[in-house]
Structure 1
Amino acid sequence: MPGVSVSWIGALVGLALAIILILRRLNPVYALLLGAVIGSLVGGANLVQTTQIVITGSQSVMGTVVRVIAAGVLAGAMMESGAADVIARTIVNKLGDNMAIFALALATMLITSVGVFITVSIIIVAPIAMAVGKKLNISKLALLVALSGGGKAGNIISPNPNTIAAASGFHIETSALMIADFVPALFGLAMAVLVASLLRNKGEMPTDRDIVEKEEENQNHPSVGASFVAPVVAIVLLLINPIGEILHVHALEAFQVDAMYILPFAGIVGILAMKQGKHIMDYTRAGLMRMTDVVLILIGAGAIGGLISSSNLSVEIVKLINEAGISGTLLAPIAGILMAAATASTSTGVILGTGSFGKTILSFGVSPVGAAVMMHTGATVIDELPHGNYFHVTGNAMHMDIKQRLRVIPYEAIVGLTMTIVGTIMYGYLMK
C-alpha cells in the first residue's frame, strides 16, 4: 500500500488478535476490523494511516462482494422454491437402498455444487438421511459423515462464496477453479462414502422421533425437470469459456461473461421455469439475506488483509520457509487449513488465507490456479470446529448432542485432507 508501511510484528499481532476474538465468540466482522486497527497501530501506523489501511484493504474485496451478492439470486431460487429438496429426494430414490450412503453423499454434493450453502444442503438432506438410516440401520455418525463429506466435495466445485473468494484472491475465473477442483472433489466424495460405509454400525441409530415428515411442503415443490433448470443453466454458462480454452475453440473462448451476470441470470431463468415468477422478489430477497453475513465478513477480512499487505510479513515468511527447508508450495494448503480452523469457516478461512498469504505463495512460483486449489481444499480439513456455526447447525439437523457431534470431526477431516492431498499433488507438483 503506497505511503503506508507497518512492521510484520504488527501484522502478526493483528491477525492473532482477530483469531483469538473469534474464538472468544466476538462477531467475526468486528474481530477482523479490530485486529486490523490494533495491528496497524502496533506496527507503527498513526490513526490516519490506520484508517487508510482499513479502507484500502476493504476496497480490495469489493469485486468478490459483488459476485457473492449476485450469487444470492441463484441460492434463493434453489432454496426457497424447494428445488434443492426435490433434487435430493430424486437422487436418493433413484439410486435405491443398496447405494443409500453413496446416494446421500452424492445428493448433498450436487445440491452444494449448484450454489446452495453447505449448511443448508445438509439441513435439506438430513430428514431424508434420517428416514433412510432408520430403515437400513445406518448410524447417525455414518449419515453425517456422508452428508458432510459430500457437502465438502460439492463446496469446492460450487459458485459459492468460498469458491468465489478463492478465485478472486488469486485473480482467476471462478469457473476455472471449479474445473480444477473437480478431481479432488471426486476423491473427497469417494472417501466420504468409504468412511461412512465403515461406520454404518457405529454409534446411535435414528429413531422414530428423528423422522420428520414434510408431505405438506412437498405438494408445493416444482417438478424434477424444472428443479434442474437453474443449476444446469449456471453450470453450462460458467463452463463455456474454460472449455473453449481447453479445446481451443475461439467462439467459446470469446464468451467472457462473469459469474456476476451468469448466477443471477440462471436463478431467474430457473424461477420462471418452475412457474414461480410471482415469487421472484421474495426469492431474491431471501437469497440476499443469506449472503449478508458473508459480505460483512469479506469486508472485515479485506481490512486485515490490507494490514498484512502493508507489512513486510510476506518477506519474513519467505525467509523463514527458506531457512527451514520447507517447500514453499506447502504454504498454500497449510494457510488454508490453519485459517479455516481458526475461524471455523471455509469461506472466512479462504478469505484470510488469500489476503494474508496470497502474494507470498505466488512468490514461490506456484501458479494462481494451483495456489487457489491448494488453499481452497485445505480450508475444508478442519473448518467444522465447535466455535463455528457449521458444527452446531449440522449437529442439530441430525439430532446429535455435543459429544456425538464431536465424534464426527476426525472423519470429516479425513475427507478434507484427502482432497487437500490430491489437490496439492496435482497442482503443487505434477502440474506446477
Structure 2
Amino acid sequence: MDYSFTTIGALIGMAVAIILIIKKVQPAYSLILGALIGGVIGSGNLILTVDTMVSGAQSMISSVLRIMTSGILAGTLIKTGAAEKIAEVIVQKLGEKRALIAVAAATMVICAVGVFVDISVITVAPIALAIGKKAGYNKASLLLAMIGGGKAGNIISPNPNTIAVSEAFQVDLTSLMIKNIIPAVCALIVTVIIATILSKKAGTMVSDQDLEKHADNKKLPTFIQAFAGPLTVIILLALRPIFSIVIDPLIALPLGGLVCAIACGSLVQFREFAEFGLSKVAGVSILLIGTGTIAGIIKASALQYDVISLLEMMKMPAFILAPIAGILMAGATASTTAGSTIASQTFAQTLLNAGIPAISAGAMIHAGSTVIDSLPHGSFFHATGGSVGMNIKERMKLIPFEACIGLTSTIVAVIVYLI
C-alpha cells in the first residue's frame, strides 16, 4: 500500500469541511480548509499537503472547462424562454388530470437537456403552481414531483456532476448518461407515486399570492424553436456511440446554445445569454476546485484501502463501495456535484482495480449521489423550497421522500450492473 496521509487525517479533514459548510461558511473555502487541516494532521508535512491539494485541484480543470462551456447552453435555454416552453408544452399535453406526472416529467426533461437541477425546479415552479392551483394539489406534492423529476433528469444529463464523474473514470459522457436511463425512469415512477400519496394528505395549498409572485407575460418561443438547441446537443453527443465520431461536450454544449439562440431569433442577445450562463456555473466551477483539493488528500490517504478492508471483513462485494461513496459524500457536502466528484476522484482507481467496469462504477456513484444531496446545509434545499414559497419546517418533511427517490435510482443502477 502506498499512501501519503492517514485515514484519520482524511476523516478529520472531511469532518472539518462538513462542519464549516453546516455553519454556512462558503463551501469551496470549507473544502480547502478541511483539506489543509486533514492533510497536516494526516502527514505532519505542510509542503506535501499543499502540493497534494494543488495537484487535486489541477485534476479538476478539464471538468471545470467543460462545465463553464455548458453554461452557454443553460443560459440560452433559460433566457430565451426555451426551457420554460418545453416544460409548458409537456404540462399542457398531459393535462390537469395528470398534473403531477406532467410536472415531474417536465422537470426531468428540462434537467436532462442541460439545465441545472435547482434551476430546473425554479423554471418549472410557476407552471406547477398554476396547474396545481386548478387541480387542487398541495405544495408538498408539487415540489416533490419537481425535485424527483429533477433527480431523475440529473443522472442522464450533461450537467456538472455527470461531466465530473465521466472525467474521473475517463468514460464517454454520452455512454454514462445512457447507462442511467433505466434508473432515471424508475426514479420518475416512484416520484409520481409518492407525490400522489402526498397530494391526498393535508398540506399548504397554492394561493393567489403564490401565483402573483410568478406572474410573467414574456413571449415564449415555439416548441420547435425551443427544442432546437437540446436536439443539436443530443445529436452531436450521440455521434460517438453510434458512428464513433467524437464531438467533445466542450464543443457540443455551447453549439447547442448557439443553435437555440438562432432558432429563437435571439442571436443578438447571445453574448448576454453566455454571460448569464457563466454566472450560473461560476459557483459550481469554484466549488469543484475546492472539491479537488480535499479529493486529492483523500485519494492520497489510506482511507480507500481501509474501506476496502472493512468491506472484506463484512463479506461485502467491492462494487458496493460505488453507491455508498456517492451517498455519503453527497450527503456530507449537500451537493450532487461535490459528492459525486469527491467519490469518483477518490475511489475510481480502487473500483477499477477491483474489476468493476468504469461505466458501471460511475453510474452507481452518480445515482448514489442523489439520495441525500438535498440536506439543509446545501443551497438546493433552500432554492427549491423558496421556488414555491415553502417554509423550512415544511421543506424538511420532504427530505425522507427525496431520499426514497434517490435510493430507487441507486438500487436500480446496482441491479443494472449485476445483470
Distance 1:215 1:397, change over 3 A: closer
Alpha-carbon separation, structure 2, partners of 1:30 and 1:216: 37
Amino acid at match of 2:166: A
What is the TM-score of this pair, normalised by structure 1?
Answer: 0.93
Q: Does 1:364 align with 2:363?
A: no
Between 1:176-185 and 1:198-207, the stretch displaced more is: 198-207
**DSSP 3-state at the match of 2:171:** coil
The correspondence of residues 290-301 of structure 1 with structure 2, limited to 5 A, is 290-301=280-291
The correspondence of residues 335-346 of structure 1 with structure 2, limited to 5 A, is 335-346=325-336
What is the TM-score of this pair, normalised by structure 2?
Answer: 0.96
RMSD: 1.6
Alpha-carbon separation, structure 2, partners of 1:216 and 1:143: 20
Question: In structure 1, which of residues 404, 407, 413 is the aligned counterpart of residue 394 of structure 2?
Answer: 404
State the partner residue of 2:153.
154
Amino acid at match of 1:210: D
Q: Does 1:278 align with 2:268?
A: yes
Amino acid at match of 2:194: V
State the partner residue of 2:33.
34
Question: How many matched pairs?
Answer: 418
**Alpha-carbon distance, 1:309 to partner:** 2.2
- 5+ residue gaps in structure 1? 245-251
**Alpha-carbon distance, 1:374 to partner:** 0.7
Q: Is the 8 A contact 1:385 1:391 kept in 2?
A: yes
Alpha-carbon separation, structure 2, partners of 1:214 and 1:377: 32
Q: Cα deviation per residue 1:189-218 (whole Å; 9 max; x = unaligned)?
A: 111111111221222221222213766543
Q: Is the 8 A contact 1:127 1:212 kept in 2?
A: no
State the partner residue of 1:247.
none
Q: Does 1:207 align with 2:207?
A: yes
State the partner residue of 1:248.
none
**DSSP 3-state at the match of 1:25:** coil
The correspondence of residues 116-195 of structure 1 with structure 2, limited to 5 A, is 116-195=115-194
Amino acid at match of 2:273: Y
Q: Is the 8 A contact 1:317 1:360 kept in 2?
A: no
Alpha-carbon separation, structure 2, partners of 1:395 and 1:309: 35
Q: Is the 8 A contact 1:23 1:342 kept in 2?
A: no
Alpha-carbon separation, structure 1, partners of 2:210 and 2:35: 45
**DSSP 3-state at the match of 2:199:** coil
Q: Is the 8 A contact 1:108 1:154 kept in 2?
A: yes
The correspondence of residues 22-421 of structure 1 with structure 2, limited to 5 A, is 22-202=21-201, 203-212=203-212, 216-219=216-219, 221-242=220-241, 244=242, 252-253=243-244, 255-421=245-411
**DSSP 3-state at the match of 1:211:** helix
Alpha-carbon separation, structure 1, partners of 2:129 and 2:370: 24
Alpha-carbon separation, structure 2, partners of 1:175 and 1:350: 17
Q: Cα deviation per residue 1:49-95 (whole Å; 9 max; x = unaligned)?
A: 22211111111111111110110110111011111111111111121
**Alpha-carbon distance, 1:45 to partner:** 4.6
Alpha-carbon separation, structure 2, partners of 1:235 and 1:147: 23
Amino acid at match of 1:227: A
Alpha-carbon separation, structure 1, partners of 2:40 and 2:34: 10
**Alpha-carbon distance, 1:7 to partner:** 2.5
Amino acid at match of 1:404: E
Q: Is the 8 A contact 1:7 1:44 kept in 2?
A: yes
**Alpha-carbon distance, 1:97 to partner:** 1.6
State the partner residue of 1:12.
11
Distance 1:283 1:39, change over 3 A: same
Amino acid at match of 1:389: S
Alpha-carbon separation, structure 1, partners of 2:20 and 2:377: 11
Q: Is the 8 A contact 1:137 1:201 kept in 2?
A: no
Alpha-carbon separation, structure 2, partners of 1:111 and 1:152: 11
**DSSP 3-state at the match of 1:366:** coil
Q: Is the 8 A contact 2:239 2:247 kept in 1?
A: no
Between 1:79-88 and 1:312-321, the stretch displaced more is: 312-321
Between 1:287-296 and 1:4-13, the stretch displaced more is: 4-13
Q: Cα deviation per residue 1:366-410 (whole Å; 9 max; x = unaligned)?
A: 111111111111111111111111111111111111111111111
**Alpha-carbon distance, 1:280 to partner:** 1.0
**DSSP 3-state at the match of 2:212:** coil
Alpha-carbon separation, structure 2, partners of 1:27 and 1:278: 36
